[in-house]
Structures are given as structure tokens and as C-alpha cells.
Structure 1
Amino acid sequence: MPARRPGPLLFGALVVVSACGSPAPGPPPLPAPTSESTVDSTAPSVSATSEPAPVVAVRDVVDAAEGAMPPGMTLGVAVLDVDTGELVEGRLGGRQFMAASLSKLIVVVDMFDRRRSEGREIAEADLKLVDRALSSSDDGAMSALWGRYDGLGAVRRVAGQLGLTATRPPDDHGEWGDTTTTAGDIVRIYQHILRDMAAADRDAVVAALAAAQPVATDGFAQYYGLLGPGPSAQRYAKQAWVPWAPAGHLLHSAGVVHDTRTGHTYAMALLSIQPRTSAQAARDRLTAVAAPAMGLLGAGSTGGTR
């Protein structure tokens, strides 16, 4: 994407469940995969004979990420325990950021939801574009989907359906990357994918994210942040990046981490604006932020692809 100059950023209303509050009754268990051939979008069960591991507190995961933030980075963090519904946002978890390629996930969710609710067909060729948009972050594929499936309306519909008060479409119809969102809103979208979408649709989204390629179609290395060790059935994410004048780089990593020790599933979003530096340095910095948070969840991160 071309370099952008940041415009005024708005702060939307938030609904956050405090880690220290009284937990509400949890939602029903995550649905099981439809077949062994699909990517497992739910956490593996814990053996009944093993000593139960303590569930990691959502607040601890947020604190671990924010504690690793280097000087000068603007970082929005949010983590949601999909099994309990508990959401904790960091200090800037409700700050609006340019979504860049995270808008691809929003449009795909709307496509699948409307297919179920309104009977709208999705051509086989467009399903291939979905895979390219999510796994290779193909901008051409996204532009085609944005035009064919009412991208502006898609952002509004998903935001309205899920109560995402800070996710808004771009002012310029054609600039899908200028969609704005927050870390808190993005983890709510992942909760919707895992909890509410039809199993086949959920598995299609997860499979595409878990197939993230080392290098995107524009040549940008994608294995950083939550994908520092690469994608797997235990962790998958949508990455986003764009040169950001004059700050340097806008770099996001947002996805899902399964804690196989406890069976809990966590949606995590790390949205950042970084001081002027090389693309690889920016990737390494966000990977360093993700590493302690993922380590708490038993999915430790290493350095990304260069």
C-alpha cells in the first residue's frame, strides 16, 4: 500500500469486561471441527487424567505484551478469552488505528454471513480470492472483493451486527485500507468467527489464516508478531502493514492463540505505529511484544522471517 499520513484519530465507546470483575456465565463450548481434514479452529481438549493447568488470566496476557513495548511505539492491545467472553483492553486498546489489511478480514466475515442470512451466492472464483486475501494478503484480491461485495457496506454491517462502535469505513470509497478499527473491536470479530459463524464458514476463514504465506504478494515478510514462529493450528493471524509518514511503519498482528494446556482459546490484537525504522526492525519489535504474551499461553514466539 502507498504511504499514508495519519489523519485525526477518533476514540469510540468501549464495553470492556475487567479482569478483576465478577465473571458472567460463560458461553457454551466452542463447536467441534466438522471433519479431521479441516484446520482445528478450537483448542484441543485436556486429558482428564492430567493435573489441570491454571487458566491464564487475560489481564496478565495484556500486561505481558505492554510490558515488552519498546520506547516510541504506539501500541493498542486487546485480548479476549473466547471460552469465557472476558475481554481486557490495554491502555490504547480502544484507540482507533488505520486497519490496512485487517479490513480484508472484515469483508470476508460479511461475505460469509450474508451468504447464510440472505442466501447470497459466493462464486468459486471469489472463494479463491478470499484465500489469497487472507493467506497471502493479496491487495488485488481484496480490491476485487471490495468492489463486488459492497466493501463500504460490509464494514458498516459487521460493525453494526457486532456492536463495534469504533470500526468505520473509509471516507474514500476505494481506499479500503483506510478503514479504522481498534484492537478491542478486532478481537470481537474473532470471537464472532469462532462462536457465531457456521462451522464450514468458520473453518474456511481459519484455514486461510493458518495457511499464511511467509511472504505476501507485495513482497512483505508476514512471519512477525503472533506469527513470529509461523502459523499453525494453535496460532493463526491476519497481518497488516503500510509505510506511515512521518512515523515510519504501521504494523498490526491480530489473531488467535490456543492454550493447549488449559483448552482455552484467546483472540489477541496488537496494533502499532512505530518510529521511523526499517521494515525488518519494525517486524522484530512487534515480535518482541508478542513473545511474552504468547509464552504465557504456551505458544512462545521466535524471530520472524527476514
Structure 2
Amino acid sequence: MHAVLPNARDGFEVFDLQTGTVLTSRHADRQFAAMSVVKLLIALDALARNNWVTPDGDTLITPQDMVTGYRYLTDQVPGPDRDLLLGALADAPRIASDGFKQYFGIPDGLPHTTWAIKQGWGTSGSQAVMESTGLVGSDLRQLQPRGRSVSHVIHLTP
């Protein structure tokens, strides 16, 4: 990525849900504007507390925050709610409703792998932001929390 975008700010964390270990990370505690990736965290919060208050300004997240959210989704959200969210993430369309091509990051990088993604894009100040987050692994559709192999979070700021 840095060969193409030398000034890009990035951060990622890859977490193995079976072993409970971080496989690799880079700048995983670096905060970025959340874009629409925060919608997954809003859904989890709404399920957990049955409420949500819109914050002022950009919501800031880290790759570690997103891994925590995905771990909560796979390990603690009750089956029907988890299945609803994972189904929506697994059925993300190639072209978003605003016309943006959202198969970047995980879908482009892992084209022959099963995944469930939440992408985000937009601007924060004068910076363009693209985020790719999700769960990957061939058994993802089985919706068994400990069956998922890796949670992968990437953030790119070109």
C-alpha cells in the first residue's frame, strides 16, 4: 500500500477467534474517523442497551475497537440477533446505494474467501478515508462463534 500511497496512514489488527490471539497488527491503537463502520457498533450498542445517542463530530475508533466489537458480536450477541447482523454483513453489495464501489480492502484482498464485511468511506476534515472491516473464513456462514478463523480490520487514509 505504501508503495502506491506513501503518505497513507494505516492501522490493522488480525485476531484469531479460535485461539484468542492477535496474529498480527500495525498501529492497532491509532484512532481514525469511523465513517459508516460505526454502524456496526451502533447496532451492537442498540442491542445491548436498547438506546443510542448521536455524538457530535466524527466518532473515533481504533482497529482494536473494531476487533472488540466483532468479538462481542460472535461471542456474546444471542443467536438470532447475531445471525441477522452477520447475514447483513455477508450480503454486502458490490456497489453501495450511493454508487460507491465497496469491494475494496478485504473483498479485493481475499476474493475467493468467505467474508462478512462492514466498509466505510468518506472524508474527515480534508482527508479521504476508506475502511474495510470484517470476519473472514470458509466456515463463516455456519454462524458458530468459535468456528470463525480470523477477524480482520484495516483502515486506510490515502
Residue aligning to 1:151: 53
- Spell out the pairing of 1:150-299 with structure 2 (5 A cutoff): 150-152=52-54, 170=55, 172=56, 175=57, 178-228=58-108, 234-247=114-127, 249-258=128-137, 265-274=149-158
Residue aligning to 2:48: 113
SS of 1:194's partner is: helix
SS of 2:35's partner is: coil
Whether the aligned pair in 2 keeps the contact of 1:69 and 1:75 (CA below 8 Å) is no
Judged with a 3 Å threshold, the aligned counterparts in structure 2 of structure 1 residues 230 and 268 are, in CA distance, closer, same or farther, namely: closer
Judged with a 3 Å threshold, the aligned counterparts in structure 2 of structure 1 residues 188 and 239 are, in CA distance, closer, same or farther, namely: same
TM-score scaled by length of structure 2: 0.82
- Spell out the pairing of 1:24-63 with structure 2 (5 A cutoff): none
Give the residue type in structure 2 aligned to 1:211: D
Whether the aligned pair in 2 keeps the contact of 1:256 and 1:266 (CA below 8 Å) is yes
Structure with the greater relative contact order (CA < 8 A, sep ≥ 6): 1 or 2?
2
Whether the aligned pair in 2 keeps the contact of 1:211 and 1:231 (CA below 8 Å) is no
- Give, in whole Å, the separation in 2 of the partners of 1:233 and 1:194: 18
- Give, in whole Å, the separation in 2 of the partners of 1:69 and 1:108: 33
Whether the aligned pair in 1 keeps the contact of 2:113 and 2:138 (CA below 8 Å) is no
Identity within the alignment, %: 31
Give the residue type in structure 2 aligned to 1:73: A
- Give 1 or 2 for the bigger CA radius of gyration: 1
Judged with a 3 Å threshold, the aligned counterparts in structure 2 of structure 1 residues 186 and 150 are, in CA distance, closer, same or farther, namely: same
- Give, in whole Å, the separation in 2 of the partners of 1:91 and 1:214: 27
Judged with a 3 Å threshold, the aligned counterparts in structure 2 of structure 1 residues 84 and 239 are, in CA distance, closer, same or farther, namely: same
TM-score scaled by length of structure 1: 0.44
Unpaired runs of 5+ residues, structure 2, are: 140-146
- Give, in whole Å, the separation in 2 of the partners of 1:237 and 1:69: 23
Whether the aligned pair in 2 keeps the contact of 1:89 and 1:184 (CA below 8 Å) is no
**Equivalences, count:** 149
CA RMSD of superposed structures (Å)? 2.5
